[in-house]
Amino acid sequence: MLLLYGSVFAALVLSAVAESQFGQCGGTGWSGDTTCPSGWVCAALNAHYSQCVPGISSVASTTASQSATRATTTSTAPTAAPTVGPSHATGKTPALGWNSWNAYACDINEDKILAAANDFVSLGLAKAGYQYVNIDDCWSVKTRDASTGRIIPDPDKFPSGISGVASQVHSLGLKFGIYSDAGTQTCAGYPASLGNEELDAATFAEWGVDYLKYDNCNVPANWSDASTPPGGDWYNSNSAIRYRQMTAALNATGRPFHFNLCIWGNANVWDWGARVGHSWRMSGDASASWSYITSIITTNVQHLDSIDFYSHNDMDMMEIGNGDLTIQEQRTHFAAWAFFKSPILLGTDLGQLNSTQLAIITNPELLAFHQDTTVGTPARPFTPTSSAPTTSPPEFYSGRSVKGTHVFIINTGNATSKTFDFAKVPGLGSGSYKLHDMWTGKDLGTFSRSHTSTVDTHDTAAFLVTPARHGADVDEE
């Protein structure tokens, strides 16, 4: 659901999307219907998402009338946008939790949300550190309250109201998140918050909301940007200002909100996101596919300088438990999100996870790296040997934690033997080192100069590497 820039067709599609009903029709990993109603076409908004919009002729015929009324139905960018940053009472480390979208899309209700919250407790997720239970799109009715202007929770889906659900989530020692959009409607066509930031933020705070996912659909033409804003200043672009307005509104409530900018990697968000929120989406919607996992890793490694405390590139919600990912691919999915310090928001029916999948998502050592409060930076690629080939995405990464140096190896191909020289790992030398397997929690022994591992196709190895004590026996490779 990415914003398109530049072309006349892009502007027409954006205008049509603002008036359309939600309907995905294609994208990487999409296995649903690829046809659209008569008079509509399937428009590719990004590599991972295509949506049904009116045919180009019908779009063109309505554009003039829409643009004539838009000035009276949407606000224009302010001359002095707020500059207040996000709360630092939350969001130091990446969010750990669950979101309803990948599991249920619009088919949500109170029972499903509370079932996820209770699963946090019964499955050991809360004990492992997971805390956010987040509702995505489609939680409200289609119109605001005529007298108060507030968004109205759907009484059929949420008979206890959002505040009632939030209270029940809080009673379990967990936190509660909600969804809105920095446009005129959400991606599914429900009331959004552009122009209503203060009212909606105050409403969310009153309901006891702790986390806001803020999407990027249905953006009016006067709030969009050219491919590059004046002076290349993306912080002062229309895109950033739409999010900055919500930051100020959330802060004005006095309640700490974890603020996620679901801007799909637009507007160079990695350059200004930390001034506005705690995390920001780096791409369109995830899919349960190896191609998405490798694609988002490739994207993310270009912007690792953006990641630190209160500042996290969001690789999107998890697909563990969905689709046809192998166990090895699910291990890589989790490990990469952990060592890149992306938010980890599970996105499946938690009660359907098997013991192997639960072991992956509750791995204590990978979660400790992810949630380290001493070191906020992620693992980075390194060249493992002098003769190592270049791969995309890279296969070898190293990072620091309070425990020491870690090495992560993603096998993107078929060859299962993976070697790295200790001298090539940043911060290490050419001596002898103890290796500890972060997946199993077992020590592997002491090795000199290098280490060779067997890593299954599409799997990820994870090691803690610490200096060997003087005189320790060395294990042969």
Residues 226, 357, single domain; the answer is: yes
Cβ atoms of residues 66 and 72 within 8 Å? no
Instruction: Say what the pLDDT of residue 64 is.
Output: 30
Residues 107, 241, single domain; the answer is: yes
Residues in the chain: 477
Instruction: Say what the pLDDT of residue 469 is.
Output: 77
Domain boundary among 371, 390, 425: 371
Residues 162, 271, single domain; the answer is: yes
Cβ atoms of residues 137 and 189 within 8 Å? no
* Catalytic residue flag (residue 324): no
* Catalytic residue flag (residue 210): no
Instruction: Say what the pLDDT of residue 24 is.
Output: 59
Residues 221, 113, single domain; the answer is: yes
SS3 state at 182: coil
Domain boundary among 315, 346, 371: 371
Cβ atoms of residues 321 and 357 within 8 Å? yes
Instruction: Say what the pLDDT of residue 471 is.
Output: 57
Read off the pLDDT of residues 291-348 as tens digits, 9 standing for 90 and up. Answer: 999 999 999 999 999 999 999 999 999 999 999 999 999 999 999 999 999 999 999 9
> pLDDT (tens digit, 0 to 9) for every residue of the chain, 477 residues total?
433 333 333 333 333 433 334 455 665 455 667 887 776 677 664 444 466 655 533 333 333 333 333 323 344 444 579 999 999 999 999 999 999 999 999 999 999 999 999 999 999 999 999 999 999 999 999 999 999 999 999 999 999 999 999 999 999 999 999 999 999 999 999 999 999 999 999 999 999 999 999 999 999 999 998 778 888 999 999 999 999 999 999 999 999 999 999 999 999 999 999 999 999 999 999 999 999 999 999 999 999 999 999 999 999 999 999 999 999 999 999 999 999 999 999 999 999 999 999 999 999 999 999 999 999 999 999 999 999 999 999 999 999 999 999 999 999 999 999 999 999 999 999 999 999 999 999 999 999 999 999 999 999 999 999 999 765 666 655
Read off the pLDDT of residues 433-467 as tens digits, 9 standing for 90 and up. Answer: 999 999 999 999 999 999 999 999 999 999 999 99
Name residue 237's amino acid: S
Instruction: Say what the pLDDT of residue 27 is.
Output: 58
Domain boundary among 350, 371, 392: 371
Residues 32, 163, single domain; the answer is: no
Residues 250, 297, single domain; the answer is: yes
Of 136, 154, 210, 285, which is the active-site residue? 285
Q: Is residue 78 part of a domain?
A: no
CA distance 317 to 337: 10
Q: Is residue 2 part of a domain?
A: no
Instruction: Say what the pLDDT of residue 65 is.
Output: 33
Q: How many CB atoms lie within 10 A of CB 231?
A: 7
The string of DSSP codes covering 237-248 is: SHHHHHHHHHHH
- Exposure string of 120-149, with b = 16+ CB inside 10 Å and e = fewer, is beebebbebbbbbbbbbbbbbeeebeeeee
CATH number, domain containing residue 280: 3.20.20.70
Q: Shortest CA distance to 260 belongs to which of 333, 323, 310, 220?
A: 310
- Exposure string of 199-209, with b = 16+ CB inside 10 Å and e = fewer, is bbbbbbbebbb
Residues 218, 289, single domain; the answer is: yes
Token duo for residue 240: 């950033």
CATH number, domain containing residue 397: 2.60.40.1180
CA distance 225 to 236: 10
Q: Is residue 104 part of a domain?
A: yes
Q: Is residue 67 part of a domain?
A: no
Q: For residue 31, what are the domain limits?
A: 23-54
Contacts 24+ apart (CB under 8 A), 148-152: 149/196, 149/199, 150/199, 150/200, 150/203, 151/180, 151/190, 151/191, 151/200, 151/203
Give the count of domains, the chain. Answer: 3
Residues 200, 333, single domain; the answer is: yes
Residues 329, 391, single domain; the answer is: no
Instruction: Say what the pLDDT of residue 4 is.
Output: 34
Contacts of 96 (CB under 8 A, 6+ apart): 129, 130, 131, 132, 343, 344, 345, 367, 370, 371
Q: Is residue 432 part of a domain?
A: yes
Q: Is residue 82 part of a domain?
A: no
Q: Give this prediction's pTM.
A: 0.84
CA–CA distance from 230 to each of 14, 82, 165, 399, 471 (Å)?
Answer: 22, 19, 44, 37, 62
Instruction: Say what the pLDDT of residue 30 is.
Output: 53
Q: Is residue 7 part of a domain?
A: no
Of 215, 316, 372, 459, which is the active-site residue? 215
Residues 49, 102, single domain; the answer is: no
Residues 261, 284, single domain; the answer is: yes
Burial of 358 from C-beta contacts in 10 A (0-12 / 13-18 / 19+): middle
Q: Is residue 411 part of a domain?
A: yes
Instruction: Say what the pLDDT of residue 73 is.
Output: 35
Instruction: Say what the pLDDT of residue 59 is.
Output: 33
Element (H, E) at 169: helix 161-171
Residues 412, 361, single domain; the answer is: no
